[in-house]
Amino acid sequence: MDSVTGTRHIDFTIGEWKGGEFDTGHRANGFMNRLNWFGKTFNSATDAKPLVCLDADGNKYSNTDAMNGEASLWMEEFRGEVTASMVYDGQPVHDHFKKIDDDAVMGIMNGKGAVDFGSGAGRHLYVYLERV
């Protein structure tokens, strides 16, 4: 996989993405399903909507309550690589993205309180995004 690196790769993420999560046994697995999460929308580096959800009628909206706001995109180092990362406005959480191909990325949630140490091993929440 190529990392989503460099300023041009923040531009790569701009747009609407449908998402899903990988069940790793992380304590947050299922949280986004309960929110009726659709995915993420990146309008610009300073306007990221991490929790685009569906209401009862199937309309999309940005759920700002669940994570105390929205987010922005930054270039950050994670595990020795600089990646496009989404930084939440209201939580000490960063999602780091790896490019799979032109229409898909994998994300890993990181930050204070985001790593699950319940099993003693320390697990991250992993998500995938597909370009709409």
pLDDT score of 121: 64
pLDDT score of 115: 81
pTM of the model: 0.89
Q: How many helices (H) and strands (E) does the chain have?
A: 2, 10
Which domains, from first to last, does the chain contain?
2-131 (2.40.128.580)
Q: What string of pLDDT tens digits covers the 132 residues of the chain?
A: 445 544 458 999 999 999 999 998 888 899 999 999 999 999 999 999 999 999 999 999 999 999 999 999 999 999 999 999 999 999 999 999 999 999 999 999 998 878 888 765 668 899 999 999
